[in-house]
Structure 1
Amino acid sequence: MHHKSGGIIGAHFSSDEERHDYVAHRIEEKLTDYVDYDFTLLEVRALNIFFDLAQEVRGRDMFYAVCLMIPRVLFGLKATIYILEDQDTFVVGGTSGDKSVMEPTRTWDDELTDKVVYKDDRMFVPIRCNPEYANLLAFEPRNHIIGCFEMWPSSSLTEHQRLFLEKYVNRIGYQLHHRLIRSRNREHIRFIKSMVQDIGHNVIVPNMYFKLYFNRLKRRIEELHVSTEKVLISMGECGQQSCIDVGNELALTAASIESQYQEIYRHYEVTSMFLETLLRRRHFEEGRYVLMKREVNLRTGVLEPQVERCRQRFEEKNIEIGFALGGVPDQVIRLVMDPGLIAQVYANYFSNALKYTEEATLPDGRTGRFVSYGWQVLKDHFGPDKPGIKMWVVSTGRPLDLENPMDVFKPGFRADNVAKESGSGRGLYFVRQVVELHGGTVGYEHNEHGNEFSLILPFEQEENLE
């Protein structure tokens, strides 16, 4: 556990008991601090009023007014609040003095600095943010300072009053920091909403036109096959070997074009599904993944397109993908799910298999790299008459270096023995989010076949849904 005195900054706790003990200790320290401060009743009330009104008012200008008027009304002190607009520029947020004689902007100087300054009957107190969240601001402020609070007249203030005013400005700093973060978050949300509209207009809609282009290309390829057939007949009637060779070459070229078209079209379909699923407007509007569930054939609608998408890369790495480690049952499985998101779950599982599959010897004596996938219906898995369906991808290789099997599904997690492979550690966390949204669970184990990544979904079908 690491922390700084005076705040729960950078603290890490392994249990509720440890966390509670730490907070109890900090409460006792605060009690001691306030006894030492010996604030007057009016000073205590000033802090209480500040916290009450800071929660009550909306808008930054009203918050500045609260900060400025508490010293004015309760202690007869005028004040000006400066806000750091960028790394080097302070702007006047508000003042209870004469604004007409003030400069609207200032830079760091001998008054606006990182220390409390007393000059010309004025007290300048730097406004500090919460260091733990400094990186959430538009820029990381120097010495964690986000402004300055100027008060006057200060020459008659006692040491005790000056201490209180410093503590008062500290409270302003943390409240102001949270307001700046909230303001930035609102701007971020507005940007995201605007970006989603742009995505729909500039990405999703144009992508739909590719379907039209593919249909036109398909018709041209069909016409090419018809023309090729006619050419082959004419060349055959010609009887010359050179003519027959040219005809056969043309036929091979047409077949190659057809094959390339089919491969490109498969990738287009998968990529389009991923785009439309991940960039779904409701994800951004609601701030979470939103499911669009429908009944789908698991094998033909989800699994096989992902297998075909990855097949060439598996072949390039000499990985055999099939049913050598336990195959897909013969029965047709139709269940209700969000096919786009579950397809991306499989895309992540297959992507991991591409990276981490290692050579092994199978029970039948064959040696090589192998990946298999399959499923199994689990009766009453989610309760009486509530079956589940377990789906898995298993690949040969050493077990992952894990203390807890579920660690692999945590955000940013990378096992020590796979660190050399590229990756963000986000893929399996995405898998977990999607599966749990479906009401299911994820799992990892190393069994007799290798590394098995699985998911279990409720076995819902349209006729069973209300």
Structure 2
Amino acid sequence: MKSDAKPVSGPRRQEETPAQAQRPPLPPDPAQCMENDPVRNEGMARRVLQKLEDAEGYAFSADELRMLTVFFELSQEFDTRRDFLTLCVLLPMLFFDQDCRLYLRTGPGAWKLARCLKLPATLPALEPPPRPAVRGANYYAPILGRKDSGELLGFDIPDTSLGWLEVAGGAGLSRHTQMFFEKYASRIGFQLHSRMVRSKNREHLAFIQNLVEDIGHNVIVPNMVFKLFFNRLNASIGALARCVAEAPPETPAEFTASLDFLQARLSAQYAEISSHYAQTSLFLETLLRRRHFQEGRYVLEKRRVSLLKQVVEPQVERYRPRMEDRGIAIDLSMGGIPNEPIHLMVDLGLIAQVYANLFSNAVKYTRTVTGPDGLPLKFMAYGLETLADSFGPGRAGVKLNVFTTGTPIPEAEREGLFKPGFRSASTQREHGTGQGLAFVHQVVELHGGYVGYEPSELGNNFFIVLPVEEGG
């Protein structure tokens, strides 16, 4: 039969921009190739073969397999719990004219008839057994959840059973048919657990949305008011300085000197508190940015920054007192950060927090070593290097180093340095969560860069490499 329909073309290919066309692929991660993980590869293959063998042993009929397939597909289609539970008892009736009833737990030691096609004359007098069993004329197959199903429901679940599938008259069914309903009940359990997870996730998202609003109202806005208080305090300190400068000639010199000393101390303390406030506010407003929570990821707000003045120097001054308390010198033998334009487009708050994490680690983990001249050394150093073509031909990068003296990290531990929760065995005496370097890794990758570690005879160098703005 002739058709007037025009041939349907494939999906239109999105045009690549020149930048996309020139962008090199990310380097391959050997850990993602199964040939480099033979233990996991063999274990997964063994499990697949075992399931295939089990499936062959079940010898389900064509109609039984169709029912399981229809159940899986329609479970994805019906969103509401009511429709899903109806599907669970409707399919056995449609495929095999088999009446089934669904019982679910509602609390510790409590359960109810959750769905049926017609009400039974009587309900079970006792809780059904935790294992497949015949009771009277009926057959009961437990609907099993997972180990954490109780956490999702908010109460303990004995034997992880979420409920039971009651097969009316199932005592007279063949063992094969009873086993089929056991497998069917297990699929119901999987779907119920998945739906509980999704429901809990929706609750969490709703809570986070409300929390973001509360943070904005009760944390960010009140924190901004402190700026007004600081301005008033600074004005008062200035007024005190003027009083000292304009003191009458007959004012005792000792009194004037005391006021002058007090004013100088207040000015120094104000500068320290004001700097701390500025950094804390920057981190609060950056880490609690509403878009992070709305999109479920860190969202960058890039702008051109002065690496030295806006990022590094504030963090150096912030951690300098703590380093001095621990006898850690700040050495600029690595060149420091030059006071020259470094064209980096970054999220100021997140990159400042990256340096804060690296300097915080320097405070905790810098140790004394013996230098080449036999003298003890204990210092932290930071510096910058420009790397040509580090992100492809013509795409330079900036390598930012933070070095600390101490024992180099064992080679066996280096692979896990930037993973969440990882802590080296040599750091257990210092308080920490193992999240600092993982945060550094995540933020730097979001900026299109990469992180790394380099050991040396005197200690450990952690570095980040960020792309230089094109044309910078």
After superposition, residues 33-432 of structure 1 pair within 5 angstroms as 33-98=54-119, 110-131=126-147, 138-139=154-155, 141-231=157-247, 234=248, 237-238=249-250, 243-324=252-333, 326-362=335-371, 367-403=376-412, 405-432=414-441
Partners of 2:55 and 2:415 lie apart in 1 by 45
CA distance in 1, matches of 2:158, 2:171: 29
Render the CA deviation track for 1:2-54: whole Å, top value 9, x for unaligned. xxxxxxxxxxx984554444344333323332333232332222212211221
Contact 1:349 1:393 in 2 (8 A): yes
What SS does the aligned partner of 1:224 have?
Answer: helix
Tell me the TM-score normalized by structure 1: 0.87
TM-score (norm 2): 0.86
Structure 1 residues 93, 110: CA separation in 2 closer, same or farther (over 3 Å shift)?
Answer: closer
Partner of 2:24: none
CA contact (8 A) 1:325 1:371 kept: no
> Could you give the per-residue CA deviations for residues 273-308 of structure 1, whole angstroms, max 9, x where no partner exists?
000110111111111111001001100100011111
Query: Does 1:435 find its partner at 2:444?
Result: yes
Tell me the distance in 2 between the aligned counterparts of 1:266 and 1:292. Answer: 22
From the superposition, tell whether residues 200 and 378 of structure 1 become closer, same or farther in structure 2 (CA, over 3 Å): same
Secondary structure (helix, strand or coil) at the match of 2:336 reads coil
Q: Which amino acid aligns with 2:237?
A: I
Which residue in 1 is equivalent to 2:8? none
SS of the residue corresponding to residue 254 of structure 2 reads helix
What's the counterpart of residue 460 of structure 1?
A: 469
Distance in 1, matches of 2:87 and 2:287, equals 44
Amino acid at match of 1:282: R
Which whole-Å CA distance do the structure 2 matches of 1:140 and 1:185 have between them? 20
Distance 1:15 1:113, change over 3 A: farther
Counterpart amino acid of residue 43 in structure 1 = E
Give the % identical residues: 43
Is 1:25 the equivalent of 2:78? no
How far off is 1:365 after superposition?
6.7
Contact 1:83 1:148 in 2 (8 A): yes
Q: Which residue of 2 aligns with 1:4?
A: none
SS in 1 for 2:102: strand
The equivalent residue for 2:13 is: none
CA distance in structure 2 between the aligned counterparts of 1:124 and 1:411, rounded to whole angstroms: 44
Contact 1:273 1:340 in 2 (8 A): yes
Equivalent position amino acid for 1:93 in 2: A
Q: Structure 1 residues 225, 92: CA separation in 2 closer, same or farther (over 3 Å shift)?
A: farther
Q: Aligned equivalents of 1:166 and 1:365: distance in 2? A: 74
**5+ residue gaps, structure 1:** 1-12
- Does the C-alpha gap of structure 1 residues 102 and 338 become closer, same or farther in structure 2, counting only changes over 3 Å? farther
Deviation, 1:377, is: 1.7
Letter in 1 for 2:250: C
Extract structure 1 runs of 4+ deviating beyond 6 A.
none
Taking the aligned partners of 1:448 and 1:27, their CA distance within structure 2 comes to 48
Q: CA deviation at 1:272?
A: 0.4
Kept in 1, the 8 Å contact 2:407–2:458? The answer is no
Q: Which residue of 1 aligns with 2:453?
A: 444
Q: Would the alpha carbon gap of residues 372 and 210 (structure 1) be closer, same or farther in structure 2, given more than 3 Å must change?
A: same
The CA distance in 2 between the partners of 1:102 and 1:396, in whole Å, is 77
Contact preservation (8 Å) 1:324, 1:372: yes
SS in 1 for 2:408: coil
Amino acid of the residue matched to residue 160 of structure 1? H
1:150-208 deviations in whole A, cap 9, x for unaligned?
22122322222211111110111111111111111111111111111111111111111
Aligned residue in 2 for 1:9: none
Post-superposition offset of 1:266 = 0.7
AA matched with 2:58: Y
Determine the C-alpha separation between the residues in 1 that align with 2:379 and 2:83: 66
Contact 2:408–2:457 (8 Å) recurs in 1: no
Amino acid of the structure 2 residue aligned with 1:34: A
Equivalent-residue separation in structure 1 for 2:201 and 2:292 (angstroms):
17
Q: 1:133 to 1:319 in 2, by over 3 A?
A: farther
| Secondary structure of the structure 1 residue equivalent to 2:170 | coil
